[in-house]
Amino acid sequence: MEGGVFAAKRISLSNFAMDSINSDLSKKQLYGIRMMHIFLQRDPTRAQLLEKLTTSTQTMARLISMLGWTSRNDHTTIRLYAAKVTAELAKSLRVVTVPGTMYLVSTLLDTDRKPKRRHPLLDEDDDRDPLFVDTVESQEKSQDAAGDQGQKQGSAGDTDIMLKTPTRSTHMNNPRSTYKYWERISECESIPKEQPLTFNDLLPALGMSIVYSLAGCDQNNSVEIDRVTDLIPKIIGFTSFTSATVNSEEQQKVLLKSSLKVLQRLTSIEGEIGITLRHKISKHPFLLRNLAEILGDNSITPELRKLVAEILRNLAIDRDARQEIGQIQVLITRLMKAFLNCNGPSSTNADCLLPKVAGQALAMLA
């Protein structure tokens, strides 16, 4: 029977995960994308998975397409994990290899549904928060599996572990069979475990994390970022204190920091594309007003106010933006205050750097 239709073969975990997300079954896709996310959390498994992904255009195209999956509840959970995986891959990804990547990344920043005033981790069914996907149930299953580790002996060390699976495709397409393999993988001691979701796992925060990493690894990515007409306005929208698109102050802080980090990086890009991006950013009608409000709010951390000063310094490289910023007296006043207001010993690096960066911005505007 060794050569029969149910004969076992050996498949590496990374290949199993990649095969799973290319499946037509949503359960199998979910297990596959969760495995990929777990494998990217530690260097040995991360390197092995990245090596295989770089040679699989089919898997990369499927992964990127998942960023736009919103039609069903199981699809929204898959979308969350696809965003988390893409955020890891974006540190070395050239988006021209997967057409349409930036458009799908931009959809992660969409906030066209009014959120409900409840904890985002408790939303259920079709009423879930569009910024955050409820995956508590799946997390509890993973944590239960992790809690049994002291009683089980794992045999796996990396994603090249050989997992015995049946070759009969109809057997492997059985969701129960797939879940059994997921449980076996979860029992491996040396495979990193899933971490609880945080506010950094809001879909817009993940989207901006992807943009931040893409802009830093390849200048051609910046060209693709510029081509998505509504992406930069969406990012700037999260710098507003009056946004009605978030459920809580904690969410707003995370999204504010994410947006400022992306804008700081985009305004620091060199070359012709850098000039184009700075022009597009500086011409947004609410940007400078929002930055002035952040800079003047002492409840905002020095780290975020430093990012604002860096954005203003970078925008001032271009003459038109420099003149426009210079005409806004409240911005100049608040930069002066940040430059001069050094109250004794600084407790953090950001405390030390804020006066310095504010001074650089003032020098550029002089």
Distance CA(145)–CA(116), nearest Å, equals 32
- Res 242: pLDDT: 63
Q: Which residue has the higher pLDDT, 275 or 134?
A: 275
If one counts the domains in the chain, the total is: 1
Helix, strand, coil % over all residues of the chain, rounded to 5: 65, 5, 30
Distance CA(312)–CA(333), nearest Å, equals 13
- Res 82: pLDDT: 96
What is the arithmetic mean of pLDDT over 293-299? 92
Name residue, tokens 């996907």. 133
pLDDT tens digits along 202-254: 999 999 999 999 999 899 999 999 999 999 999 999 998 665 555 688 889 99
Q: Is residue 238 part of a domain?
A: no
Q: Is residue 105 part of a domain?
A: no
Give me the residues paired with residue 166 across strands: 8
97 closest CA partner among 63, 61, 59: 61
- Res 173: pLDDT: 53
Contacts of 100 (CB under 8 A, 6+ apart): 64
Please state which of the ranges 107-111, 222-226, 355-359 shows the lowest mean pLDDT.
107-111
Please state which of the ranges 30-34, 102-106, 169-173 shows the lowest mean pLDDT.
169-173
Is a pLDDT exceeding 60 seen at residue 160?
no
Contacts of 156 (CB under 8 A, 6+ apart): 13, 185, 188, 189, 190, 191
Q: Is residue 366 part of a domain?
A: yes
SS3 105: helix
Q: Is residue 111 part of a domain?
A: no
% the chain with pLDDT above 90: 54
- Res 199: pLDDT: 85
Which amino acid, residue 244? A
Q: Is residue 316 part of a domain?
A: yes
Distance CA(69)–CA(51), nearest Å, equals 26
Please state which of the ranges 107-116, 149-158, 183-192 shows the lowest mean pLDDT.
149-158
Torsion of CA 224, 230, 232, 235, to 10 degrees: -120
Q: Evaluate whether 115 touches 247 at the Cβ level (below 8 Å).
A: yes
Q: Is residue 340 part of a domain?
A: yes
Name residue, tokens 């509890």. 140
For 116-169, the DSSP string reads: PSS-GGG--GGG--TTS---HHHHHHHHHHHHTGGGS-----STT-EEEEE--H
- Res 288: pLDDT: 96
What is the arithmetic mean of pLDDT over 268-285? 96
Q: Greatest CA span in the chain, whole angstroms?
A: 83
Is a pLDDT exceeding 60 seen at residue 165?
no
What is the arithmetic mean of pLDDT over 300-305? 94
First to last CA, the chain: 83
pLDDT tens digits along 28-46: 999 999 999 998 988 888 8
- Res 143: pLDDT: 44
Burial state string for 311-344 with b = 16 or more CB within 10 A and e = fewer than 16: bbbbbbebeebbebbeeeeebbebbeebbeeeee
**Main-chain phi, psi angles of 283, to 5 degrees:** -85, -5
Is a pLDDT exceeding 50 seen at residue 154?
no
- Res 179: pLDDT: 56
What is the arithmetic mean of pLDDT over 190-206? 79
- In terms of Cβ atoms closer than 10 Å to its own Cβ (0-12, 13-18, 19+), residue 168 is middle
Q: Is residue 20 part of a domain?
A: no
Q: Evaluate whether 292 touches 312 at the Cβ level (below 8 Å).
A: no
What is the arithmetic mean of pLDDT over 305-315? 97
Q: Which residue has the higher pLDDT, 254 or 131?
A: 254
**Main-chain phi, psi angles of 11, to 5 degrees:** -135, 140
Distance CA(281)–CA(263), nearest Å, equals 8
Please state which of the ranges 4-8, 23-27, 79-83, 296-300 shows the lowest mean pLDDT.
4-8
Q: Evaluate whether 188 touches 38 at the Cβ level (below 8 Å).
A: no
- Res 30: pLDDT: 93
Q: Is residue 335 part of a domain?
A: yes
Give pTM, 2 decimals. 0.81
Domain encompassing residue 328: 285-366
Instruction: Give residue 349's pLDDT band: very low, low, confident or very high (50, 70, 90).
Output: low
